[in-house]
Amino acid sequence: MIRYAIFGAGGFARSVMPVARQQLAASSELYDLAFVVDNASSAELNGQPLYAYDAWLALPAAARFANIAIADGEVRRRLVERCRANGIKFFQVQAANVVQWDDVVIGEGAILCPFVTLTSNIRIGRHFHANHYSCVGHDCVIGDFVTFAPGVHCNGNVHIEDHAYIGAGAVIRQGQPGAPLIIGRGATVGMGAVVTKRVAAGVTVVGNPARELHSQRQSGA
């Protein structure tokens, strides 16, 4: 038996599970699909088996595949390392109605929720999350462990570095060929923010136009 798991039991994991279930239903292989968390408090969740990590690992399996449905990119990274140490591979969860056009390359372990659009000539790193109704425009480059909350609109020629978090409804202005708009490593773009210029690594920006959060506090905004 092939064992597949969605890691996490929060709202996002519970939203991803039906997508994974629908995706695997077309498979002819014998498989099991379950939630996995560190400390399982019950035997099932929303009709799917729920296992603690060690208990799932102890089940007999011909192979194991996981998808980490946890929004925090650093938590995802740690869980990926843990899985690798135990020989667990990763699978992509992709809704049937995702729109994906020409020359889109995506790293392992991505989650592409319903109504996501990926246009053309895009490079996306490992363990990317694109929540419902998010869009990635042409010629974008997205790093590892990047998270898009629902309804993010990332226009063309944008580079988003590893571990960035883009909040729900945020809009990122289009960059230019050879001069992309850059969202730095570990940056956070707040919900509904409109990003019109580079965001430095590790900072949080909010508002329209987006500004660093501490700058707004200092100015009394």
The residues, any chain, with a CB within 8 Å of residue 193's CB and separated by 6 or more, are 167, 170, 171, 205, 206, 207, 208, 210
Parallel/antiparallel/unpaired status of strands 153-154 and 135-136: parallel
Q: Per-residue pLDDT tens for 158-207? A: 999 999 999 999 999 999 999 999 999 999 999 999 999 999 999 999 99
Domains and CATH numbers, the chain: 2-91 (3.40.50.20), 94-214 (2.160.10.10)
Using a 10 angstrom Cβ sphere, with 0-12 exposed, 13-18 middle and 19 or more buried, the burial of residue 175 is buried
- Bridge-based pairing of strands 44-45 and 48-52 is antiparallel
Least confident of 14-18, 19-23, 27-31: 27-31
Q: What are phi and psi of 215, to 5 degrees?
A: -65, -40
Query: What pTM was computed for the model?
Result: 0.94
Q: 95 near 113, Cβ under 8 Å? A: yes
Is 138 a residue of the active site? yes
Active-site annotation holder among 127, 138, 159, 163: 138
Q: Return left, alpha or beta for 95; rule: phi > 0 is left, psi -120 to 50 is alpha, else beta.
A: beta
Range with lowest mean pLDDT among 12-16, 35-39, 66-70, 99-103: 35-39
